[in-house]
């Protein structure tokens, strides 16, 4: 049985919306850094990241991050298309709905490749960016999220948290 907390749920929805607003903010930030002829291209890359990553997250991203386990590296496709997820599905934290958790995690999947796009402004076409976005999410972002937050093997998580605390990590 879920023990939903309205305060936790409201706070997570607020945090989700604030992270979502970071992507258009990033688009305007990068738009101010590039030349006049490239403003639209860099802004479209950031906004395309919002749309395409949402589709990938729904299709298989959430499932690869937070369902099952294959050698501690990646999840499985048991939750592809969010199959079996409804309003009574528990999230890892029992005080918020699963859909709020899914949306919150998706916002970070959206903003991360958008941050990377600033490194190759004016150097790639839109088609190449979309291919990069798909490949990077699938082969880099989703496995790392699974290893740190979603996997059954917690050694990666312990190592990551030790690193975040500034302590020495020993694998």
| Domains of the chain by start residue, with CATH | 6-86+95-165 (1.10.3430.10)
Query: 3-state class of 170 per DSSP?
Result: coil
pLDDT in tens, 144-158: 999 888 866 555 555
User: For the whole model, what pTM was predicted?
Assistant: 0.85
The DSSP code sequence of 108-160 is: HHHHHHHHHGGGGTTTS-HHHHHHHHHHHIIIIIHHHHIIIII-S-THHHHHH
Give the pLDDT confidence of 62-117 residue by residue, as tens digits: 999 998 888 888 999 999 999 999 988 888 888 999 999 999 999 999 999 989 98
């Amino acid at each position: 049985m879920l023990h939903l907390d309205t305060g936790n749920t409201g706070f997570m929805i607020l945090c989700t919306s604030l992270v979502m607003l970071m992507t258009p903010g990033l688009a305007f930030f990068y738009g101010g850094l590039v030349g006049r002829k490239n403003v639209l291209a860099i802004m479209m890359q950031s906004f395309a990241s919002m749309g395409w990553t949402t589709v990938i997250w729904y299709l298989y991203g959430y499932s690869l991050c937070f369902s099952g386990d294959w050698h501690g590296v990646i999840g499985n496709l048991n939750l592809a298309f969010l199959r079996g997820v409804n309003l009574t599905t528990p999230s890892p934290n029992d005080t918020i709905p699963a859909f709020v958790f899914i949306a919150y995690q998706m916002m970070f999947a959206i903003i991360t490749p958008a941050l990377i796009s600033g490194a190759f402004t004016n150097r790639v076409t839109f088609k190449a960016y979309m291919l990069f976005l798909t490949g990077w999410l699938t082969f880099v972002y989703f496995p790392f999220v699974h290893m740190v937050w979603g996997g059954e093997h917690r050694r990666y998580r312990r190592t990551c948290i030790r690193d975040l605390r500034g302590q020495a990590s020993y694998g």
